[in-house]
Amino acid sequence: MTVKPLYLYAFCHCSRLFWFVALILTTSMLSFNLSASTVTLQSWLNPFDSDSSKRTINYQWETPSNFKQRICAIIPSSSTSYWFALNYGLVKKARAMGVTLKVYNINGNLSLSKEKQLIEQCIGQKPHSIIIGAQLSEGIDQSQTPNADKSQVIAVGKNLFSKTVDASSSASFTDVGQQLSKYMNKRHTGESINQTVLFPGDKTGQHVEAFVKGFTPNINGNKYKVEDIIYTPDSYLEIKIRLTNYLNNNLNTTTVVASALVAQAAVEVLDEMSLTGDIQIFSYELSAQVYRGIQRGNISASFISPPVIQGFLAIDMAMKLHNNQLKEPHISPIATLIDSDNITDFDISQVFAPYGYRETLEVN
């Protein structure tokens, strides 16, 4: 274990605009080593079923080859630290393995029509593999594509489970919901019942409903009473307005469980309403702002399935698929809880792109 400086991109969201803040951190941590031959992951016994049982495996990384595999990737946006880090993981691994990579961003225009348009562009390039981090799509239609030209499809990031997926490095947000509820149940030791509201994000995101599905049945009603589930669009200003209105009309609220974007907004809203410390915030996603909120004591805890490793895995699985060597079609990094107890030991190189990295859309 070594002590060394790390540079973290933080994305501060103001209304619809993002601006970068460079945070220089010094922390004790074990670094994730891309050059290591194996990595510990979780594998689904019933692939692409988020409710399936899982087992821990030692995943063997693929080795570079002289074959120039063509890969096309579609991700919602690189304007959040999560997808920015996933972009970094895809690009770093693609360069290391010598593959060709073309990345398309939906750029916040989270619509099925835009998604389908980019999927058609990908298919038109006849890549060996398509990596998709979409949150809306029900799958990729290659029914009109000759079998010889069909691309293998790898899901990455946030759940995309369908019959058109050949492999996935996506985490299960149902599992994250279950784990967060268990953590909260254990954390609450008093006799009072916390009046709780869920702000899980935009209902159109597949991962949002998956989280709610995992969280609500498992939270202890004698400790946390879920009064409402409020879905919000991905608009920072709109989120702040809805949070403020809700808290003004529900004065007994003591706990907010939220997506990363809503958790970030909640920190600001509570400060503006002089309620910091009176209402606890839990996030089921980790962003740069949530990480900083945990550091400062404004957010209690968060879960993360490291996006950098998900990006590594997506490229590696694409290569294994092409070589007919993929034995575990649905694997992902093990979701990790981050709170004040372990934040100084957490390896942020698995979660955030390093300072100085610029979004890259093409690797040749």
pLDDT digits (tens, 9 = 90+) for 233-281: 888 999 999 999 999 999 999 999 999 999 999 999 999 999 999 999 9
Whether 355 and 258 share a structural domain: no
Pairing assessment for the beta strands 331-332 and 336-339 based on DSSP bridges: unpaired
Asked whether residue 247 is assigned to any structural domain, the reply reads yes
Q: Do residues 318 and 231 both lie within one domain? A: no
pLDDT at residue 25 is higher than 50:
no
Question: Looking at the domain assignment, is residue 78 inside a domain?
Answer: yes
- The total number of structural domains in the chain stands at 2
| Same structural domain, 155 and 23 | yes
Kindly state the percentage of the chain with pLDDT values over 90.
57
pLDDT of residue 11: 41
**pLDDT over 50 (residue 35):** yes
Does pLDDT of 14 surpass 60?
no
**pLDDT of 34 strictly over 60:** no
Same domain, 165 and 314: yes
Q: Are residues 114 and 200 in the same domain?
A: no
254 & 322 share domain: no
Tell me the percentage of the chain whose pLDDT exceeds 70. Answer: 83
185 plus 298 within the same structural domain: yes
- Give domain status of residue 55, yes or no: yes
The structure's pTM equals 0.85
Report whether pLDDT(138) > 60: no
**Do the domain assignments include residue 343?**
no
In the predicted model, what is the mean pLDDT of the chain?
Answer: 84
pLDDT digits (tens, 9 = 90+) for 37-48: 889 999 999 888
Residue 319 · residue 99 · CB < 8 Å: yes
Judge if 178 and 159 occupy the same domain. no
Indicate the pLDDT class of residue 346, thresholds 50, 70 and 90. Answer: confident
Higher confidence at residue 12 or residue 349?
A: 349
Question: Domain check: are 184 and 150 in the same one?
Answer: no
Range of the domain at 134: 2-171+306-333+348-363
Residue 211 and residue 356 in one domain: no
DSSP strand pairing (100-105 vs 362-363): antiparallel
- Is 240 part of any domain? yes
| Structure tokens belonging to residue 275 | 């309620």
Query: Rounded distance, CA 340 to CA 299, Å?
Result: 9
Contact 142, 179 (CB under 8 A): no
* Position 340 in a domain: no
Instruction: Assess whether 298 and 311 both reside in one domain.
Output: no
- Is the same domain home to 167 and 192? no
DSSP secondary structure letters along 222-234: TTEEEEEEEE--S
**Residue 342: inside a domain, yes or no?**
no
pLDDT digits (tens, 9 = 90+) for 320-338: 999 999 999 999 998 889 9
Whether 179 is covered by a domain: the verdict is: yes
The token duo for 225 is 């009473």
CA distance 4 to 26: 6
* pLDDT tens-place string over residues 49-74: 877 889 999 999 998 888 889 999 98
Two structure tokens written together for 190: 């008093």
CA–CA distances in Å: residue 256 to residues 52, 282, 360:
28, 6, 35
Go through the chain and tell me how many residues it has. 364
Q: Give 77-89 pLDDT, tens digit per residue.
A: 777 888 999 999 9
Q: What is the CATH number of the domain that holds 71?
A: 3.40.50.2300
pLDDT tens profile 83-109: 999 999 999 999 999 999 999 987 755
Residue 289 CA to residue 70 CA, distance in Å, equals: 35
